[in-house]
Amino acid sequence: MNRKGSGSSEKRIAVCTVALLLISALLMVAGCGESGGPEGAVQKYLKAMQNMNWEDFKASIKPGQELTAEEEELARQEFEQVKVSCEGLKFKTEYDKGDNKKAVVALTDGKITYTAEILGEKKTETLEIKKMADEERPAFNVVKVKDVWYVDKPLG
């Protein structure tokens, strides 16, 4: 048996394995690993809210909405008034029976904390999802457009 050939083959396998792991890690960092479905669309939406990133927030919502500059500015200001913090969220997706490009993603567990200044006073509300009745839990309509899932809600 030729050990030289066997060692070379093992090195190639190791190098390929490391390369595949690096590519997978890069895809996850870029968001490709978690955003392939309806739950990923909701995760992007909530992450944009949590980071208070208006551009990412707009990108998470169904495209094709026409707003005037004034309407978009008003929507941005409203967006920036509420701080959101999410912790330990779990999701349940229910696809539309008649259209597989539509679904509803409901939160089933975790916490969402909203903080806003109202009449000069800071107000905070925390939703403990698991303690809520099923029909009261936050749910998001999502839609698939050109192989990408988005939250289906008006921007303005």
Question: How far, in Å, CA of 76 to CA of 122, rounded?
Answer: 20
Does the pLDDT value for residue 30 go beyond 60?
no
Query: How does strand 139-145 pair with strand 148-151?
Result: antiparallel
- Locate the domains of the chain by residue range: 1-33, 34-151
Q: CATH assignment of 34-151, given 3.40.50.2000, 3.10.450.50, 3.40.50.12170, 3.40.50.300?
A: 3.10.450.50
Quickly list DSSP for 116-128. EEETTEEEEEEEE
Predicted local distance difference test score (pLDDT) of residue 147: 93
Question: How far, in Å, CA of 85 to CA of 67, rounded?
Answer: 28
Predicted local distance difference test score (pLDDT) of residue 7: 52
Contacts of 30 (CB under 8 A, 6+ apart): none
pLDDT tens-digit map of 140-153: 999 999 999 999 99
Question: How far, in Å, CA of 74 to CA of 83, rounded?
Answer: 17
CA-angle at 135, arms to 48 and 106, nearest 5°? 35
What global pTM score does this model have?
A: 0.74
pLDDT tens-digit map of 83-109: 999 999 999 999 999 999 999 999 999
